[in-house]
Amino acid sequence: MKNILITGATSGIGKQIATVLSADNDLFLSGRRKLDKVNYYACDLVDMFEIETLYNKAIEYFNSDIDVLINCAGQYIYKPIEKMSFDEISYLLDVNFKSAYILSSLVIEGMKKNNWGRIINIGSISGVVGEANASLYSATKSAFNGFSKALALEVATNNITINTINPGWVETPLAQNALNQEERQEVIDITPQKRFVEPIEIANLCKYLISNSAKGITGQGINICAGLTCGC
């Protein structure tokens, strides 16, 4: 039984991760929606004070340190670089990367004290191969890969692992709303396995990465993209 904090847990990938991990662990969840649950806090990840409040509420709920942090919250903006406003730039940087960095900095002390911990960042293949008209989104997700490597080195002797999962196109409401039927077919056509990744695949990978069986996997960016990053 581990104490797990998951951001972005109310829909899509985060919701599936929470469902899978709830069977054997104690969870504290966060998202943008207002939910009346004792193990949940609706949090604006742009606000430093809100991030600290989320951390403190999780600690209060567990009455103990956080064993596992899963940074799943993220936003997507599809625009040419010259169309991005300063507010959109700040927003995407804050939500997609800065909040995860701050939460990691808050949980790491307890993990070091307990000589055990896991941090999983949910990135994107757009941070591995790039995506036209989503340069800032790609940059924020790419940041996770460098962050995971550097922090993994920093805590390697503390039995703490840091990894990033880079999903491709995932069968979520976000993808369904973002693509019309023609665009959806185009995604399938260019994907070697001719399918969307299912959220359960990412959730099961998270389950493995937090287990002791995966203690040797750290500082890695793991692509789960139905072959999309393999090339033509």
- 45-50: long-range contacts (C-beta < 8 A, 24 or more apart)? 45/7, 45/73, 45/94, 45/95, 45/99, 46/90, 46/91, 46/94, 46/95, 46/99, 48/102
Can you say whether the dihedral through the CA atoms of 218, 197, 173, 135 is positive or negative? Answer: positive
Catalytic residue among 55, 76, 137, 208: 137
SS3 assignment, position 155: coil
Q: Is 208 a catalytic residue?
A: no
Q: How far is CA 153 from CA 25, 217, 220, in A?
A: 27, 12, 11
Point out the residues that are catalytic. 137
